[in-house]
Amino acid sequence: MRGQWPKLVALAAVLAGSAHAAPADWVGSDKCRDCHPEQASSWAAGPHIGSTAALGSDKRRQQCLGCHATGEAPAGKALFDGVGCESCHGAGAAYAIDDIMRDPPLSAALGLVDLGSRPAKERVCRRCHQQELRPKPFDVEAAWARLPHGGKKVTGAQ
């Protein structure tokens, strides 16, 4: 029973309806790196890590930080610069515990977004990569293939 407490606490949070993102729910990409070093290293070499810097002098504009940072922006504070792991996979405090990550249904119930399907990629990527904001068409599958960890399944502890 001792090793089951994280799962029990997480289950209680789901049942109580308290699994919504708040500032404390965001753990940052460094926490993800602990279990996913290969994905984190390749992410660090990709375009998303520098998205806040790409705003230049506009980086203080709250409406831009919703896509160019990680956290609650534009409704709240951008907690981390760049498009980090949680920008796509969801705020991680509830599912980042190793025992929970090894339980895909539970980690999904606690907010881990699995990007293994085309509809999931379309839904997540198009939150920011909107056609009306781009000079040329955005092809989710082609962009995904260019992502450093895009060809790998990154959900669950590796």
The reply to whether 44 falls in a domain is yes
- What is the pLDDT, as a whole number, of residue 4? 58
Note the pLDDT tens digit of each residue in 90-122: 999 999 999 999 999 999 999 999 988 889 999
Q: Does residue 114 belong to any structural domain of this protein?
A: no
pTM (two decimals): 0.76
Q: Is 30 within a domain?
A: yes
Number of H helices and E strands in the chain, helices first, is 9, 2
Domain contains 63: yes
Contact predicate 25/91, CB 8 Å: yes
Q: How far apart are the first and last CA of the chain?
A: 24
Structural domain includes residue 124 = no
Kindly list the averaged pLDDT for each block of 10 residues, start to end, along the chain of length 158: 51 43 88 90 87 76 83 80 92 93 94 91 89 78 76 41
Domain that holds residue 46: 20-93
- The pLDDT, as a whole number, for residue 142 is 87
Q: Which of 87, 82, 86, 47 is nearest to 68 (CA)?
A: 82
Q: Considering the domain boundaries, does residue 45 fall inside one?
A: yes
Q: Which pLDDT value is given to residue 60?
A: 60
Residue 76 lies in a domain: yes
Phi, psi of 22 (to 5 degrees): -130, 170
Please give the DSSP secondary-structure letter assigned to residue 138: -
Domain count, the chain: 1
Q: What is the dihedral of CA 130, 80, 101, 25, to 10 degrees?
A: -100
> Does any domain span residue 87?
yes
